[in-house]
Amino acid sequence: MTDVLDTHDPLATPAAGGPAGRRHRFGRPVTWVTALVFGFFFVNLAGVIGVPLVDSFGTRWFTSWLPDGWTTQWYGSAWREFSLGQVFWTTALVSVLVVAVSVVVGVPAAYALARRNFPGKRLVLLLFLLPILVPPITYGIPLATVLYKFQLAGTLAGVVLANLVPSVPFVVLTMTPFIEQIDPRIEAAARMCGAGTSAVLLRILAPLLVPGILAASVLVLVRTVGMFELTFLTAGPDSQTLVVALYYAVFSAGIRTQQSIDAMAVMYTLSMLVLLVIALRFVNPTQLVTRVKEERTTH
């Protein structure tokens, strides 16, 4: 008798021309759609980054795939035309001041939220989180109005004050988990040995919080350099950071060489890339997002 293959046998090999065979050969449709979406994203990303990069080194570029020639003169031209030395100095000064003030204010606030229970604690924490959850433009316009009223807008101090609004919550959000991980019995033991509050903070907690402070500082630094809305609304001619100066170079009146603007954009992109690489060495973005979600769920 001839053996008959059971078509319902799960161990039987599917026919090459059947639906299962076609899915196995060509992959699932979801895989293809995902690959196409990611491919489209990376092609556009390469174009957004690659076109200004190539144009910043080209002499002329109109109808061909590549420029007619290559030069580095546009970087020097952009540095002189847009006074990038002053712009970089202003950006660095604003960033350092914002980081310093944010750490000085945010670390004690994070300590109070991590160690103390008091009436209205959840409300205070929610107020700290609002500048992170709300788009900056929604509170940037009223904030700029207040700063103009007190004649602080258009100055370096006004730009620093505006950037402190989202920066302090970043420090609180980053430092609170670090403080919560430190055993309170360490502080209690130090107090039993006669250490005062200042000694506990400076000699006991500060060395343990150095990784958290570095993480918060780098995170605030990246945020400040990349912050456009608040800086644009409060900056003046002598207090523009790099991202605002780039905006004015593109959209302000006058004729400017496109290659010089692209060279300026490349310098801004490289500075942000360096800062992001440094930030990822200290901060895990998934932990930060998880922390925000936990706080939103709690409240």
What's the confidence (pLDDT) of residue 24? 52
Q: Which helix (H) or strand (E) holds 240?
A: none
Q: How many CB atoms lie within 10 A of CB 106?
A: 26
Amino acid at site 25: R
| Count of domains observed in the chain | 2
Q: Which residues pair with 58 in a beta bridge?
A: 70
Average pLDDT rounded to a whole number, residues 122-139: 86
| Contact between 228 and 159 (Cβ < 8 Å) | no
What's the confidence (pLDDT) of residue 91? 95
Residues 81, 204 share a domain: yes
Q: Compute the distance between CA of residue 19 and CA of residue 255 in angstroms, rounded to an integer.
A: 61
Residues 109, 32 share a domain: no
DSSP reduced 3-state for 226: helix
Which CATH number covers residue 265?
A: 1.10.3720.10
Question: Range of 35's domain?
Answer: 19-71
What's the confidence (pLDDT) of residue 142? 93
30-54 residue pLDDT tens: 788 888 888 888 788 777 778 788 8
177-230 residue pLDDT tens: 888 888 888 888 888 888 777 788 788 888 888 888 888 898 899 889 999 999
User: Closest Cα partner for 56 from 47, 64, 67, 46?
Assistant: 67
Residues 147, 240 share a domain: yes
158-167 residue pLDDT tens: 999 999 999 9
DSSP 228: -
What's the confidence (pLDDT) of residue 258? 85
Residues 165, 193 share a domain: yes
Residues 170, 62 share a domain: no
244-253 residue pLDDT tens: 999 998 887 6
What is the band of 27 on the pLDDT scale with cuts at 50, 70, 90?
A: low
